[in-house]
Amino acid sequence: MNVKVEDWQVKQMKTKWGSCNIEKKRIWINLELAKKPERSLEYIIVHEMVHLLERHHNHRFVAYMDAFLPNWKALKAELNRLPVSYVDWEIECQTSQSSPVSPIFARIGKAVGKGFHQVATFISY
Ligand SMILES: [Zn+2]
């Protein structure tokens, strides 16, 4: 993609799967994606990275998505069928130290290693 992400973090978010700060080249990924298929995570990462190339959801944005992730429309439709839940994660995080966090780090590492280069490795939770 030839895009450099300076920083990325996993956060709990109530309404969004991911967000992107274009000026700071920073991407936030919803912790909830750890429960979704890996392809959903990849879709969100690509979507947010494309925002580093194009801020708006316009025809340029769509063209980038088509180029980088040709099946993105199906992935988006699938993810939109899944609600962004939040409350049950709080409970899980309190009762289990490692399980909610480590799988998503492993998955992001895999997704990032598979498709993207020069991604900063700073993680905070
Ligand atoms: Zn967007």
Distance 57 CA to ligand 1 centre (A): 6
| Domains, the chain, ordered by start | 7-115 (3.30.2010.10)
Q: b/e per residue, 7-43, with b = 16+ CB within 10 A?
A: bbebeebeeebbbbeeeebbbbbbbbbbbbebbbbbb
Tens digit of each residue's pLDDT (9 = 90 or more) over 71-113: 999 999 888 776 665 444 433 333 333 444 445 555 555 555 4
Answer yes or no: is pLDDT of 62 > 90: yes
Listing DSSP states for 31-88 in one string gives GGGGGS-HHHHHHHHHHHHHTTT-SSSSHHHHHHHHHH-TTHHHHHHHHHTS----HH
Distance 40 CA to ligand 1 centre (A): 14
Distance 96 CA to ligand 1 centre (A): 32
pTM of the model: 0.66
